[in-house]
């Protein structure tokens, strides 16, 4: 493990000329990480939640109804709202994330606007930087405006950062935003996470 860390550090130094997109840095990553991320975003099938039992399905339906009510002011169209919430549920759980955390991040990043574009070019609900489509996707950054694609990328990237930061959510959120070590962004996401928590 120690040798692997040293090898990664040497590789990072050799690749020090990495590009920067806005505040978020396109970091050098091991091929195994790149492949794992590419695999995580590659399944084109639409989300189909799987429930271990009837009670879990009921919890999902209760969550869906409650979140739909909370999100109605921001997304008045019922069909769009239900589709977005279904994708949030599926993609966040697929990546091992709390759906409320993902919704808190989306509220801060895009205010739940599908076509939100930042001044540095980040796109969609989770404000995914276009370089990710080249690094782990097929290179077509326009697909980042697709609901499922954007959430799949965003959740997979956040999961990767959580793993890199050994579970430290504060640092992972800072890395996601390109502001690692600064409190404003993680604190905003964490505050919004609380708003989207579901207590049954």
Residue range 36-86, pLDDT digits in tens: 667 666 666 667 788 899 999 999 999 999 999 999 999 999 999 999 999
- The answer to whether residues 107 and 84 touch, using CB atoms and an 8 Å cutoff, is no
CB atoms within 10 A of CB 86: 18
Q: Which two tokens stand for residue 14?
A: 């050799």
**Residue among 186, 180, 149, 130 at smallest CA distance from 23:** 180
pLDDT by residue (tens digit) across 118-128?
999 999 999 99
C-alpha–C-alpha distance, residues 187 and 172, integer Å? 12
Mean pLDDT rounded to a whole number for the chain:
85
> What structural domains and CATH numbers belong to the chain?
2-196 (1.10.530)
Give the whole-angstrom CA distance, residue 92 versus residue 125: 13
């Amino acid at each position: 493990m120690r040798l692997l860390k040293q090898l990664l550090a040497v590789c990072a130094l050799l690749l020090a000329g990495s590009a920067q997109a806005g505040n978020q840095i396109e970091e050098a990553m091991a091929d195994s990480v790149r492949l794992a991320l590419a695999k995580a975003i590659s399944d084109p099938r639409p989300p189909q939640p799987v429930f271990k039992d009837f009670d879990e399905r009921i919890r999902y339906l209760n969550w869906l109804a409650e979140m739909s009510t909370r999100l109605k002011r921001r997304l008045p169209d019922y069909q769009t709202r239900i589709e977005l919430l279904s994708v949030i549920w599926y993609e966040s759980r697929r990546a091992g994330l709390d759906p409320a955390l993902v919704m808190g991040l989306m509220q801060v990043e895009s205010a739940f606007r599908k076509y939100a574009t930042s001044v540095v070019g980040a796109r969609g609900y989770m404000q995914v930087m276009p370089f990710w489509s080249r690094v782990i996707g097929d290179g077509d950054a326009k697909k980042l405006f697709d609901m499922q694609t954007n959430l799949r990328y965003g959740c997979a990237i956040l999961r990767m950062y959580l793993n890199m930061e050994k579970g430290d959510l504060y640092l992972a959120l800072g890395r996601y935003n390109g502001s690692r070590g600064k409190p404003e962004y993680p604190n905003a996401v964490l505050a919004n996470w609380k708003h989207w928590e579901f207590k049954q």
